[in-house]
Structure 1
Amino acid sequence: MAHVGNGASAEEEEEDCFEDAFDRTPSTCRMDLQTAIQETQCALNLVLNNKFSQALDLLKPWWRDSMYHALGYSSILVMQATMTFEQRDIQAAMATIKDALQTCQRFRKRNSVVGSLSSLISRQANLQEEEMHAELCYAECLLQKATLTFVQDENMISFIKGGIKIRTSHQIYKDCQNVLSITQGVAQQSELFRQFEGGVKLGIGSFNLMLSLLPQRVLRLLEFIGFSGNRRFGLSQLREGASNHSLRSILCAFTLLFYNTYVSLILGTGEGDLAEAEALLEPYQEKYPKGSIILFYSARITSLRGNLEKARARYEESISSQQEWKQIHHICYWELMWNHSFQQEWQQAYRYADLLCRESRWSKAIYVYQKAAILSMMSAEEVERTGEDLRALFRQVEGLKQRLAGKSIPMEKFAVRKSRRYKASNPVPLVVPALEMMYVWNGFTIVGKRADLTESLLVTIEKVEEQLLKDPNPSEYHPDDSCLVQMLKGLCLKYLGRFLQAELCFTQVLSSESRIRYDHYLVPFTLYELGLLHKQQGDFIKATTYIEKAKMNYKDYSMESRLHFRIHAALNSLKGSPVSTP
């Protein structure tokens, strides 16, 4: 398992190396590169079979002496952190990554720039291959560190800071890519080189994909210091990496899965490639049929296709498949809460919202607001049966707001601002707050797959619309509430194919702009939705005009960064589209 050069017998060597396996291994022991990769692959298999502690135990004896054990150990913790979004997990992962970087640093080429990597190819000695992999592992740890920075906050500033932090990682990957270009077509590459190639494709692909998501104004700043992002190239690199049967193949696949099932929905127009996601997941479903992470992604894809009943069963299966990482349960609770909300099964949605409030530490402000928003959709009798004080819940939200790196989380700021209506002695209740949050998380793109659910939501929205029209004593919030209802109604009508009526709803919001007092986000978001409506009808000129107006004419409104990501994705999808008019 390890190469030792102290003259001892093989039996003595192995006994010395693995005695007290969970303590730090003596420095005389040395793990060879191929074995390190194999053990890291074993650890990854354990993770995918729900054996998380066993995976960490396998890696722990060597994580301060082997670059791949260090990378694997930190990768598991980073995966946990990015799936749970809990600050405790993020901080633990951050600390481990710092140690992993130190381990990788010891194996990197001394007194040289990474650009000299290409000279290593001419002499394929073990040490040179080790240096190549050390550069790769070091860059990957830096990329993980950046990923955690992005997870902490979706604000533009965080993306800029994260990008600057990983400039070294980006440069290393570019130089590693040059190595691949130089050796392209060389016959009979070694297994270690193939592993190296898989790592480069993961890094280059992830970088290009991540940077391509950034709005143009941010990307221009990053391009000034050497960054660039090509989405098509990034996706192609990840796809090649996912198919090359290396240690990092599944990481390439998971990156593509996350992009198609989450990123494209929350920060894009909701047009993820579900066929690709299914194809990527299929071999892992066969290999790890009870793996909680695999079951979760299977449920997510099923949900995005609109089959909410089948998705619900798979989320529940994921929960029951393991009890060690409770945080994976929380992600499933979040999805089940929305699953029931899409079907307006508010009692069941409340159950999962309540579980999140009690068990998860990610964002208490968002969880409490979400629970209160769901309760707002229920009758007074149903709320009373839960024993909850709706007004008290909304009043808790502001005190639960947290700050990361000195900044508030945008979604928490939104929840706090909406909750302030309940501070007055005679509060004005929010209208359809759960449907508003559904829109914020782009849930209408899922509901829109089902005409029956969309019709049901439309009925609920039209009831509230009628109540607002008949209100004998309209409050100061009345124009804002009316515009929110019209925007949501327009969305339902769009997904039902009633385009003219949808456009009338959207234009009604725009014509009421001067009357809106608090929810200023409604106008730029409505312009964006009106642009998408015209895109759907084939009028790409009008679509671009409305979306550009939302981009250029408004600022300092709630969730501005989120809309700019969606605008960037929408304008990219319009580039090269055939010009047509109605």
Structure 2
Amino acid sequence: HVQWERRKCCRDVSTGTRKLVSRFVLCGSSSQMNLKECLDECMEALDLFLNNHFNESLERLRPRVHESMYHALIYATVLEMQAMMTFQHDDISNAGNTMKSAQEVCQSLDISFNNRAFCTNLHAEVCYAECQLQRAALTFLQDESMVSFIKGGIKVRNSYLIYKELHAFIKSHSFLKGPSHVHLEGGISFGIGAFNLTLSLFPPRILKVLEFAGFSGDKEYGLSLLHDGATGMNLRSMLCALLLLCYYTFLTFILGTGEGEVVEAERLLKPFRLRYPRVTSLFSYIIMWLCTVTPLLYQAVALFEDGCKAQQTWKQFHHMCYWELMWCFTYKQAWKMAYFYADLLSQESRWSKAMYVYMKAAYLSMLPKHEARPFGEDEIELFRQVPTFKQKIAGKSPPTEKFAIRKARRYKASSPVRLPVPVLEMMYMWNGFSMISKRPELTEGMMQTLVDAEQNEYSVDDRCVIHLLKGLCLKNQGLLQAAEECFNRVFSSEKKIKFDHYLVPNSLVELSLLYIDQGRRDEAIKVLRKAKQNYKDYSMESRTQFRIHAALAKLKADPGEEEDTHL
């Protein structure tokens, strides 16, 4: 029971760098059995985690985190997921230290050629690359200094290079598959697929810089690899599926053209719904979210509320549900209920208190002046508090937080200049009008709110906000000519706008999407390039640029032409 396999990557212990060498190492059946036992136990721990037995999952993994690379990696991954949801400094630090220890376990296995099987070394390479990638994410969160950005960037590049070399190796003719190959291939598919898909989302200007540094982004190739990983029974199938689902849902709605891939997401979810049926698993969360973009909004509310009741161990899952419930009630214009969930988030979640307080104030401002405010709070005072909660993530304030702070400044004066429809404006920033496109009664309610707001005296900026949002409602109602007039009205007011410069490029993006729906491809491309090239340094610019890139990609516009054309 002895097999020979080819060694491709090893670590030069003295310098800490990776060299490509050829080496043959004896692989015995006992090591294979140990590796299989580790993988089986880690699969069981993941099943516990996804069925809401969070503490039991960690208890199953903890005894072997110092001797098994997979136990160490999965244990650290669970802690990192928790840290990213709590956003507590102690949790981030603990997850980072645990992931570093997991990496050291992988490294010790990787360099011990005399008493370890070759197959174990290959698995150690994959785990090492995954640890590098996750440590980079934590580095960006933990420290905002330039040194941390450089360190994180180095980790990302090292991880990418390891994945590339391993992928090339397992596809070579000299490679022989071992008993645990499905887990090895699943790990490599996850890494290469994640890099290709993520990089493909970046606009061409950024991607060219990344390609110069050795990265590449092919969306279809990335999706193909992730599908292969998600549909196989391997340790990374859950990660591959979650990344694909995030792309088909959140990313395509918020950073894309607002359409998403609901059918594809539901198809991918089907086996995981059977495997993890309980309402608080991550897969159930995506099922709930999908209900919000279909005619099942009321069912979504019930599911999110049930999700909060089902378990008390991970309060962070509650926060995810609160966020979605806040938007569900926003779409229904149930301002007090939406305020209630924004208030819960402001008290319990550390992700963006400035954003939560801004939303609280925005909801109160939508109520009639004579109506009593919950808890006796006053929207003007809340707006004034927003800048005091400013924070930095990865060295920068989140764009939505910066947007909220800039908008709240209007309330600093003793006689504040009120915002016309702050909730609907922020809803647009999260592409909420696409979310309700299949609910005509919700769009009709939004339109009535905008028509009522239009009766008041506002500045050019505020009137253009209303025109943009009315255009989106008219588009949802199929009144395309009227929607086009609204978007063009914003564009024609460009020189009169004083503060909200984001309105013009975003109106052009919405106009282009309208043209796409009408089959006016050349006009759409022309408008998109104008939005891309003629406007800089406005609020939420990165998000708008991502949407422009997604729309041009949908039209299959030539990237080179996109960069070189001047209008």
- TM-score grouping bracket, smaller chain normalisation: 0.7 to 0.9
Q: 1:526-541 alignment to 2 at 5 Å?
A: 526-541=507-522
Distance 2:124 2:528 in 1: 45
Q: Which amino acid aligns with 2:357?
A: V
Partner residue in 2 for 1:142: 132
Partner residue in 2 for 1:542: 523
SS in 1 for 2:371: helix
Q: Is the 8 A contact 1:375 1:383 kept in 2?
A: no
| 2:235 is equivalent to residue 247 of structure 1 | yes
Deviations along 1:424-466, one digit per CA (max 9) or x if unpaired, are 0100111110000100011111111211111110111111112
| 2:260 is equivalent to residue 279 of structure 1 | no
Deviations along 1:3-24, one digit per CA (max 9) or x if unpaired, are xxxxxxxxxxxxxxxxxxxxxx
Residue 413 of structure 1, CA deviation: 1.1
Q: Is the 8 A contact 2:143 2:395 kept in 1?
A: no
Q: Is the 8 A contact 2:360 2:379 kept in 1?
A: no
Deviations along 1:205-247, one digit per CA (max 9) or x if unpaired, are 1111111111111111111111000000100101111111111
Q: Is the 8 A contact 1:487 1:506 kept in 2?
A: yes
Partner residue in 2 for 1:174: 164
| 2:197 is equivalent to residue 209 of structure 1 | yes
Q: 1:23-42 alignment to 2 at 5 Å?
A: 32-42=34-44
Q: Is the 8 A contact 2:358 2:386 kept in 1?
A: yes
| 2:484 is equivalent to residue 519 of structure 1 | no
Q: Which amino acid aligns with 1:509?
A: V
Q: Which amino acid aligns with 2:390?
A: K
Q: Is the 8 A contact 1:306 1:446 kept in 2?
A: no
Distance 2:474 2:148 in 1: 36
| 2:146 is equivalent to residue 165 of structure 1 | no
Deviations along 1:300-352, one digit per CA (max 9) or x if unpaired, are 11112241101111111211221100010000000000001001111111111
Normalising to structure 1: TM-score of the pair?
A: 0.85
Deviations along 1:347-375, one digit per CA (max 9) or x if unpaired, are 11111111111111111101100111111
Partner residue in 2 for 1:12: none
Aligned residue among 287, 293, 312 for 1:298: 287
Residue 31 of structure 1, CA deviation: 9.6
Q: Is the 8 A contact 2:512 2:527 kept in 1?
A: yes
SS in 2 for 1:379: coil
Distance 1:160 1:83 in 2: 24
Q: Which amino acid aligns with 1:574?
A: L
Q: 1:31-430 alignment to 2 at 5 Å?
A: 32-84=34-86, 88-109=90-111, 127-148=117-138, 164-183=154-173, 189-293=177-281, 294-430=283-419
Q: Is the 8 A contact 1:30 1:65 kept in 2?
A: no
Deviations along 1:40-97, one digit per CA (max 9) or x if unpaired, are 1111011011111111111112112211011101111222234455555444322322
Q: Is the 8 A contact 1:85 1:152 kept in 2?
A: no
Q: Which amino acid aligns with 1:57?
A: E
CA 1:511–1:576 in 2, change beyond 3 Å: closer, same or farther?
Answer: closer
Across the aligned residues of Structure 1 and Structure 2, the Cα RMSD in angstroms comes to 2.6
Aligned residue among 475, 485, 491 for 1:510: 491
SS in 2 for 1:428: coil
Partner residue in 2 for 1:18: none
Q: 1:571-582 alignment to 2 at 5 Å?
A: 571-575=552-556
Distance 2:277 2:226 in 1: 24
Q: Which amino acid aligns with 2:48?
A: L
SS in 2 for 1:466: coil
SS in 1 for 2:478: coil
Q: Is the 8 A contact 2:364 2:373 kept in 1?
A: no
Partner residue in 1 for 2:8: none
Comparing 136-145 with 498-507, which one deviates more in the overlay? 136-145
Partner residue in 2 for 1:488: 469
SS in 2 for 1:233: helix
Could you tell me which runs of 5 or more consecutive residues in structure 1 were left unpaired when the two chains were aligned. Answer: 1-28, 112-124, 578-582
CA 1:461–1:540 in 2, change beyond 3 Å: closer, same or farther?
Answer: same
SS in 1 for 2:82: helix
CA 1:55–1:163 in 2, change beyond 3 Å: closer, same or farther?
Answer: same
Distance 1:539 1:86 in 2: 49
SS in 1 for 2:377: coil
Q: Is the 8 A contact 2:443 2:473 kept in 1?
A: yes
Residue 280 of structure 1, CA deviation: 1.9
Q: Which amino acid aligns with 2:507?
A: T
Q: 1:458-469 alignment to 2 at 5 Å?
A: 458-467=447-456
Comparing 193-202 with 404-413, which one deviates more in the overlay? 404-413
Residue 151 of structure 1, CA deviation: 7.2
Q: 1:444-463 alignment to 2 at 5 Å?
A: 444-463=433-452
Partner residue in 2 for 1:570: 551
CA 1:206–1:150 in 2, change beyond 3 Å: closer, same or farther?
Answer: farther
Distance 1:219 1:327 in 2: 33
Q: Which amino acid aligns with 2:82?
A: Q
Deviations along 1:117-164, one digit per CA (max 9) or x if unpaired, are xxxxxxxx961001000000011112223444677899xx99998555
CA 1:209–1:86 in 2, change beyond 3 Å: closer, same or farther?
Answer: farther
SS in 2 for 1:65: coil
Comparing 282-291 with 326-335, which one deviates more in the overlay? 282-291
Distance 1:417 1:192 in 2: 54
Comparing 265-274 with 132-141, which one deviates more in the overlay? 265-274
Q: Which amino acid aligns with 1:174?
A: K
Distance 2:276 2:403 in 1: 40
Q: Is the 8 A contact 1:50 1:292 kept in 2?
A: yes
Residue 185 of structure 1, CA deviation: 9.9
CA 1:132–1:185 in 2, change beyond 3 Å: closer, same or farther?
Answer: closer
Residue 281 of structure 1, CA deviation: 1.7
Normalising to structure 2: TM-score of the pair?
A: 0.88
Could you tell me which runs of 5 or more consecutive residues in structure 2 were left unpaired when the two chains were aligned. Answer: 1-30, 559-567
Q: Identity rate of aligned residues, in percent? A: 51
CA 1:385–1:135 in 2, change beyond 3 Å: closer, same or farther?
Answer: closer
CA 1:330–1:559 in 2, change beyond 3 Å: closer, same or farther?
Answer: same
Distance 2:143 2:531 in 1: 23
Q: Which amino acid aligns with 2:196?
A: N
CA 1:532–1:144 in 2, change beyond 3 Å: closer, same or farther?
Answer: same
SS in 1 for 2:71: helix
